[in-house]
Amino acid sequence: MSKVKTIGVLTSGGDAPGMNACIRAVVRYALHNGLKVKGIKRGYAGLLEEEIFEFTHRSDVAEIIHRGGTILFTARSKEFFEDEYRKKGAEIIKKHEIDALIVIGGNGSYKGAEDLAKLGINVIGLPGTIDLDIGSTEYTIGFDTSVNIVMDAINRIRDTSNSHERCSLVEVMGRHAGHIALWAGIAGGADLILLPEHKDTITDDDIVHAVLEDKRADHTHSLIVVAEGFGGSDRLAKLIEERTGIETRSTTLGYLQRGGSPTALDRVHATMMGVKAVEVLLEGKENRIINYRNGKYIDDDIHEANQMIKGIDENMYEISKIVG
């Protein structure tokens, strides 16, 4: 049986639509099972400032499932990568009688969580990032909402690109990974998708050639999705216009991709993962990462999970080149 009586929960790193649905599930499932729940504001930075409060009733997380962002706020804490601050964080967790800490965040947040585990804190990680770039899971909370935002933006840009018979580049987030670009590029019907994972195999000439091929094939316009990890969409726009004579414009979507009401998929995954995090604590497990693999919500050892790496789906990428 678990010795956990009080759970702490925080959100860390870039916010992601669905984080509130996850917080809501953690709080309500924990309270339902007789546990206490403390919220920690502003991620690890807030932990170090002891910005800690108690969720006392399920109504404390009412009316948030549909809201983007995170009611706990989030931050990227540089201090937390230093030993003395991590030790301070562990001491604060113990001082507040928190028996286990649930961290909702991405890769960087998981590293901080593993450091806390090494200091004797029982931590559970939940994959909260729009990037889908956590190697141990096939899904991260926020990804679907972000892809749909990009697809909607592509639909809008497609109209004006078509009217002006232009070449249009759309730069999207994803940090060093190309998952958002690949999925949104396929969903948006992009003619070309530029991914960091293939940056070394694509030259400027290849890109110019692809745009000219579109022209020769009587496409009224070209639409290119550029992952931020590939980068250079402004430079490429100038280069394409100079080399092809086709009017070319670029749009960087930026932080539009991080907000808005989470989709049903994000809300459901966030809810089920949040519940799974509390369940593994009730089972007496320690230092686990909650993952979605092969259609199931599972938990892996935090150290093993943090070693796992994942590239893009190369088959999807090949198909995108043929049907794009």
Strand-strand pairing, 288-293 and 296-301: antiparallel
128 binds ligand F6P (CB under 6 A): no
Q: Which residue(s) pair with 288 in the sheet?
A: 124, 301
14 part of the interface to ligand F6P, by CB under 6 A: yes
Decide if residue 18 touches ligand F6P (CB under 6 A).
no
Q: Is 192 in the site for ligand F6P (CB under 6 A)?
A: no
Pick one of 28, 42, 179, 258: the residue that binds ligand F6P (CB under 6 A).
Answer: 258
Q: Which is nearer to ligand F6P, 107 or 271 (CB)?
A: 107
Q: Which stretch binds ligand F6P (CB under 6 A): 113-121, 124-132, 211-219, 288-296?
A: 124-132
Interface residue with ligand F6P among 174, 232, 262, 274 (CB under 6 A) is 174
Q: Which of residues 198-237 bind ligand F6P (CB under 6 A)?
A: 228
70 or 129: CB nearest ligand F6P: 129
Q: How far is CA 84 from the centre of its chain?
A: 28
Contact residues for 70 (Cβ-Cβ < 8 A; gap 6+): 11, 15, 19, 20, 23, 104
Q: Which is nearer to ligand F6P, 17 or 274 (CB)?
A: 17
Residue 106 lies near ligand F6P (rule: CB under 6 A): yes
Segment contacting ligand F6P by CB under 6 A, of 55-63, 85-93, 126-134, 153-161: 126-134
Q: Where are the beta strands (DSSP E) in the chain?
A: 6-11, 36-40, 52-55, 100-105, 123-127, 167-172, 192-194, 222-227, 248-252, 288-293, 296-301
The CB-of-278 to ligand F6P minimum distance in angstroms stands at 25
**Residues 35, 114, 135, CA angle at the centre, nearest 5°?**
105
Active-site residue, from 60, 99, 115, 131: 131
> According to CB under 6 A, which residues from 129 to 148 bind ligand F6P?
129-131
Interactions with ligand F6P, residue window 270-309 (CB under 6 A): none
Q: Which residue has the tokens 């931020």?
A: 228
Edge-first strand listing for the sheet containing 6-11: 52-55, 36-40, 6-11, 100-105, 123-127, 288-293, 296-301
The answer to whether residues 304 and 117 touch, using CB atoms and an 8 Å cutoff, is no
- Please report, as ranges, the residues that interact with ligand F6P according to CB under 6 A: 14, 76, 106, 129-131, 173-175, 228, 258
Active site residues: 131
